[in-house]
């Protein structure tokens, strides 16, 4: 790397950081794996997956597939458990980096745990995606797109969970979205005819029941 007006040799050495811990969210564990694990492996790191206690099986199956594909033992590992297991992993001095997807409350606890060894953290703390519809839009397509918020039973941070509609087409869009929602078959997640299944746990069910309301003030 050239350094102006300075004698000497300046360079960057690209090398693996070491053991990377990926703490997965429960709603899209395979998505979290695919966004982080391949990059860590390509850089020469080893990976420990800590899945959410409500959804451990995707990470376990992924590790099984890695073994079947021929990855050496110890390259991709899985540690299952609750928050205690995650805390132990983050505090371990042998861990070189931590990647976390989840909520800000847990992220604060992870920051405190990582501070003990100054372990670098990558935090992805969700989102609240807005879908904006103006009067000149394709309203049928907009209503259809808005309906994908029911994917994962609404348990996804990248789903269009907020709908902002221009006043002149508000009622038309609401009616179309309502009709689309009514046509979505819900029920047990193992039935092929169901496109919307259960929430992850009873706590999630209670939160959604309390927070369910319709906004009556159009933009």
Q: Catalytic positions, please?
A: 124, 157
Q: How many Cα neighbours within 13 Å face the side chain of 181?
A: 11
Q: Is 61 left (phi over 0), alpha (psi -120 to 50) or beta?
A: alpha
User: Which backbone phi and psi does 76 adopt, to 5 degrees?
Assistant: -120, 120
* Whole-angstrom distance, CA of residue 88 vs CA of residue 110: 10
Those residues with Cβ within 8 angstroms of residue 198's Cβ, 6 or more apart along the chain or in another chain:
153, 188, 189
* Whole-angstrom distance, CA of residue 180 vs CA of residue 201: 26
Q: Among 70, 69, 60, which Cα is nearest to 33's?
A: 60
Q: List the structure tokens of 42.
A: 């390509």
* Whole-angstrom distance, CA of residue 36 vs CA of residue 121: 13
Angle 180-185-190 (CA atoms, 0-180°, nearest 5)? Answer: 145
Residue 186 is given by DSSP the state B
């Amino acid at each position: 790397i050239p350094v102006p007006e300075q004698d000497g040799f300046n360079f960057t050495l690209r090398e693996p950081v070491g053991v990377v811990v990926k703490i997965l969210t429960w709603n899209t564990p395979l998505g979290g794996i695919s966004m982080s694990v391949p990059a860590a492996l390509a850089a020469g790191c080893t990976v420990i997956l800590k899945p959410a206690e409500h959804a451990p099986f995707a990470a376990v199956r992924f590790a099984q597939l890695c073994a079947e594909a021929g990855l050496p033992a110890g390259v991709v590992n899985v540690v299952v458990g609750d928050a205690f297991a995650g805390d132990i992993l983050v505090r371990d001095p042998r861990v070189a980096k931590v990647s976390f997807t989840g909520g800000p409350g847990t992220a604060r606890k992870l920051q405190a745990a990582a501070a003990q060894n100054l372990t670098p953290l990558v935090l992805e703390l969700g989102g609240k995606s807005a879908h904006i519809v103006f009067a000149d839009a394709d309203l049928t397509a907009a209503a259809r797109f808005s309906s994908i918020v029911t994917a994962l039973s609404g348990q996804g941070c990248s789903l269009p969970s907020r709908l902002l509609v221009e006043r002149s087409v508000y009622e038309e869009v609401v009616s179309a979205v309502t009709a689309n929602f009514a046509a979505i078959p819900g029920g047990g997640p193992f039935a092929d005819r169901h496109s919307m299944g259960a929430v992850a746990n009873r706590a999630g069910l209670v939160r959604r029941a309390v927070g369910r309301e319709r906004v009556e003030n159009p933009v």
